[in-house]
Amino acid sequence: MIFGLGSGLGFVYWHSKRGDMVLQPAYPFVGGRARDLYRNLCSNLGVSVRVNKTSSKTRAYEALRDLISENIPVMINVDMPQLKYLGLPEQAHFGAHCVVVAGLDEDKGIAHLADTMFEGLQTATLKELEEARSSTFKPFLPENKWFVFEFPTKLNPVEEAIRNAINKTAKSMLYPPIKNLGVRGINHFASEIVRWPKLFPPENALFRQLYEQSYIMIEEDGTGGGLFRYLYSRFLNETGELLNKKELAELAQRYHQTGQRWTSIAKFIREIPEDTSNVYEARKLLLEVAREETEALSLLTRIFEHSTFS
């Protein structure tokens, strides 16, 4: 439910020609979650959020320590490979990952972190945390950000929040501002993936890890499988039951099937080093997914565009 209320469904395919981007050296990034999930969630529910950032590592730590001293957990952005507990290769830079700092132990020089990829709290050294917060690897810079939330005495009605969330998701996916995002981005990915074996020869060990890393980004790495589509399917099911809208059950099933196609795409990508013809199978499924998501999101828009709730 939280994923859907945060208008979390999205898509991005980003390939910079520069070597300082998400995955070194200049690897493409494939993502299926809206970047501003936390902002969307707060906006839809009526929660205020203030985003702070600073170029000073000292200022960033002092702000964190002050809030923790008041027993306020703090959400921050981090560049994932800098946190050793994640076990990621140095090339897998992604600075928009969010963790919550639950506590600091300055005597031991460690921080206790809540990370969606783990059930229990994880530990990182204060040095790791500093480097993860101040990383300069583009395009997703953590910028020493920390987030402060203010909760109202009463949240927006859940029905209104759901309608706004779904309409926002549909708009961002169907009418993205650039070709790298939304349904346009999926079609763009389909045209680009056939070039991967030439751009990133899998016989080269440096490039070979791209295919495994892309599989992880789609099927693992906190996506819930199927590039977040299984999560969105469950949200639609829950919403249908809550609002007594039976037509959402069919759309939930369609999004589950879309998730299965994304799982298949991930597997084809993973197997490209063994058989480069898999790029054509992946391309075929990507084009199918783009059509399916366009149809499903258009139907969702029609269901909710005139909905009113008492």
DSSP 124-135: EEHHHHHHHHH-
Where do we find the tokens 């209320």?
A: 5
Residues 112 and 36 in one domain: no
- Examine residue 13 and state whether it is found in any structural domain, yes or no: yes
Q: Which residues are CB-contacts of 205 (< 8 A; sequence separation ≥ 6)? A: none
Indicate the residue among 89, 118, 150 that finishes a domain: 150
Distance CA 262, CA 227 (A): 6
- Provide the phi-psi class of 275: left if phi over 0, else alpha when psi is between -120 and 50, else beta: beta
Which one, of 49, 61, 236, lies nearest residue 144 by Cα?
61
Residues 226 and 205 in one domain: yes
- Examine residue 216 and state whether it is found in any structural domain, yes or no: yes
Indicate the residue among 132, 150, 168 that finishes a domain: 150
Distance CA 97, CA 166 (A): 23
Report pLDDT for 186.
Answer: 98
Judge contact between 221 and 32, C-beta under 8 A: no
Residues 145 and 195 in one domain: no
Residues 98 and 190 in one domain: no
Residues 190 and 119 in one domain: no
CATH number at residue 112: 3.90.70.30
Mean pLDDT of all residues belonging to the chain = 92
Name the residue range of residue 111's domain.
48-150
- Per-residue pLDDT band for 25 (boundaries 50, 70, 90) equals low
Across 72-95, average pLDDT: 91
- Per-residue pLDDT band for 94 (boundaries 50, 70, 90) equals confident
Judge contact between 152 and 47, C-beta under 8 A: yes
Judge contact between 25 and 19, C-beta under 8 A: yes
Q: How far is CA 59 from CA 50, 63, 66, 76, in A?
A: 16, 6, 11, 14
Residues 198 and 282 in one domain: yes
As a whole-number percent, the residues of the chain with pLDDT over 70 amount to: 95
Residues 30 and 171 in one domain: yes
Report pLDDT for 22.
Answer: 44
- Per-residue pLDDT band for 17 (boundaries 50, 70, 90) equals low
Residues 36 and 106 in one domain: no
Indicate the residue among 125, 150, 175 that finishes a domain: 150
Residues 97 and 131 in one domain: yes
Q: How many domains does the chain have?
A: 2
Judge contact between 94 and 139, C-beta under 8 A: no
pTM assigned to the model: 0.82
Residues 164 and 286 in one domain: yes
Report pLDDT for 142.
Answer: 96
Is the pLDDT at 300 greater than 90? The verdict is yes
- Examine residue 98 and state whether it is found in any structural domain, yes or no: yes
Residues 139 and 223 in one domain: no
How confident is the model over 182-240, as pLDDT tens digits?
Answer: 999 999 999 999 999 999 999 988 788 889 989 999 999 889 999 999 999 999 999 99
Residues 35 and 66 in one domain: no
